[in-house]
Amino acid sequence: MNRKIGILGGSFDPIHMGHLNIAKSAYREFALDEVWFIPAGHSPNKDEGKMTPAAVRVDMTKLAIAPYPYFKLSRIEVDAEGTSYTYRTLMKLKERHPAVDFFFIMGADSLDYFEQWKHPEIICEKATVLAAVRDDMDIAQINAKIAAIQAQFPAVIYPIRGGRTEVSSTQLREMLKAGEKSLMLPDAVFHYIRERHLYGC
């Protein structure tokens, strides 16, 4: 029987409890063996000049996931050359781990423009898609969107029912700059940020 691995990508700038809660819910709800956290490398949607260096984001991710034996760090994007598109990452992962069933974790709001991603058909071919649903979302609308995507691609998509915490890295950076501490930051990550005076704190 193939291992079931969830993958959660993001800039993780900084990583926060929202990321961890989504990963925990996916792990529980879909009986995954592990969840791999993939800090973004050369992201097509971010101004890299404004991003915290990859080495620092990797360190913060390591600290955040350390208490959870079923969470692992993957450097597949930060070590890669070229733009880190999801379809490319999944192709590499599947090539390296052919006996693994991958579950790509993303926010359900991304379903609204999933067709505009680079090669969504390859994403659907290489992984089951898990969409984290916020409390304020209408599950009927989410299911309708899933059905619309499945009409275009041979996709297997399931909603994640729990764990979507409303917090953004942008909000946390602003709070840190203002000298505030948030419960949405793991303690180890907060102390790392303070010691290195990241985000203007």
- Please write the tens of the pLDDT for every residue from 64-93: 999 999 999 999 999 998 888 999 999 999
Tell me the pLDDT tens digit for each residue of 113-159: 999 999 999 999 999 999 998 777 888 899 999 999 999 988 999 99
Q: What is the mean pLDDT of residues 97-114?
A: 94
Confidence band for 201, pLDDT divided at 50, 70 and 90: confident
| Residue 9 identity | G
**Domains of the chain, each with CATH number or no CATH:** 3-165 (3.40.50.620)
In the prediction, which pLDDT does 72 show? 98
